Amino acid sequence: MGFEEYDAWSSADYPPMSHPSADVAVNAAVARAAGLDAPQPAGSRILEIGCGEGHHLLSLANRWTGACCVGLDLSAKAIHRARSRAMRAGLGNARFCEARLSEFESDAPYDFIIAHGFFSWVADEVKVGLMDFIGKNLTLNGTAVLSFNVAAGWKERMAVVEKARAIMAAGEVDAMEALAILRTVAGTDRELYLIDDMLAKGAAVLAHDDFAPMMDAWSLGAVVKLAEAHGLRWIGDSVSGARGDDRSDNAAGTTFRSELICRADAVFGEALEDDRRRPKAAVRVPNFPKLDAWRMLCAREALPLPDADMKSCVFTFPQLKVLIAMDGSRSVYELSRHAKEVAPDLDFVPWLRHVAERGLLG
């Protein structure tokens, strides 16, 4: 049975997350620093392949309401949730399509294509289809971000997973229980470290990561070679622009990479200004703090709130109650009184300043 037929993603929900490494503003800045005149995200066309519930894409659509954002995923349940959230947050610039990549027909090329958490989790023919799609559907100066697990660091992790799987099969226990058992007989400190690292990820992430039905770690060199075979050019790491190599990955035991690629015929010139180096204005706490509609929806549904850098902020339930009260109708003083009732342990003023500094308030 091919992985496309095996709808593993419907059986366990993938935790909704936003990804700083696939923040198209950062990706564009990296491309510009490398000399490619990449489009600005506002007003651009953005596609996310394997978008899940659309948490990342909706966060982009919320930041650039003039951008046309399209999400693609084969999971009916994930697309249903994504569409419902887009509608309730009033994000009419986000559109979601329930389809396999192989069936998806694009109406126009994209300035940004995101494939985060996709490459290592699909069969080889889908990986090839992904590169083929990117090669044919990027605008001339567009960029694509591709994350994947790196074989160098996964060898030792997979050895632990194999042992845990043997315990699961013998004892009819789940992955978390098997790891807890394995922990009691760990042979080395390194094995203990890996087990604790897996346990810390929790069951939901493990089901789609270390214990995923398909987890195919590749080397950077092999990914770049596949990209080049499809008319693409590798730029570098999607956040730093650094160009690593397999030797350093082997030495460092690298487990994950997120890389930026573009069309091979894209024209590179002198390095352009990196917008990220511009000084940022100091953040003031507004007199009447207000979450925008998307972040309010995230708070109401206890989803992580994306910050200004696309990092996921997770709050406790009492903190969420305070956030939900931030609809712009209450002053800082009224909110501090409310916080005393619903979140008595919260040090409200520094916490509110922190929330503002993370760019969560409109």
Ligand X SMILES: C[S@@+](CC[C@H](N)C(=O)[O-])C[C@H]1O[C@@H](n2cnc3c(N)ncnc32)[C@H](O)[C@@H]1O
DSSP 239-294: TT-----HHHHHHHT--EEEEEEEETTPPB-SPPP-GGGSPPPPP---SS-B--HH
Residue 148 lies near ligand X (rule: CB under 6 A): no
Q: How far is the CB of 328 from ligand X (least distance, A)?
A: 30
* Of residues 3 and 268, the one with the C-beta less far from ligand X: 3
Residue 77 lies near ligand X (rule: CB under 6 A): no
DSSP 142-208: EEEEEEEEBHHHHHHHHHHHHHHHHHHHHHT--HHHHHHHHHHT--SHHHHHHHHHHHHHHHHHHHH
Across the beta sheet with 232-237, the strand order is 94-98, 68-73, 45-49, 110-115, 138-149, 256-263, 232-237
CB under 6 A: which stretch of 70-78, 195-203, 331-339, 350-358 binds ligand X? 70-78
**Number of neighbours of residue 352 by Cβ within 10 angstroms:** 22
Q: How far is the CB of 284 from ligand X (least distance, A)?
A: 33
Residue 121 lies near ligand X (rule: CB under 6 A): yes
Residue 45 lies near ligand X (rule: CB under 6 A): no
Query: Contact with ligand X (CB under 6 A): which of 64, 118, 211, 294?
Result: 118
CB under 6 A: which stretch of 83-91, 121-129, 226-234, 308-316 binds ligand X? 121-129
CB under 6 A: which stretch of 46-54, 296-304, 312-320, 347-355 binds ligand X? 46-54
* Of residues 71 and 359, the one with the C-beta less far from ligand X: 71
Residue 165 lies near ligand X (rule: CB under 6 A): no
CB under 6 A: which stretch of 89-97, 112-120, 173-181, 352-360 binds ligand X? 112-120
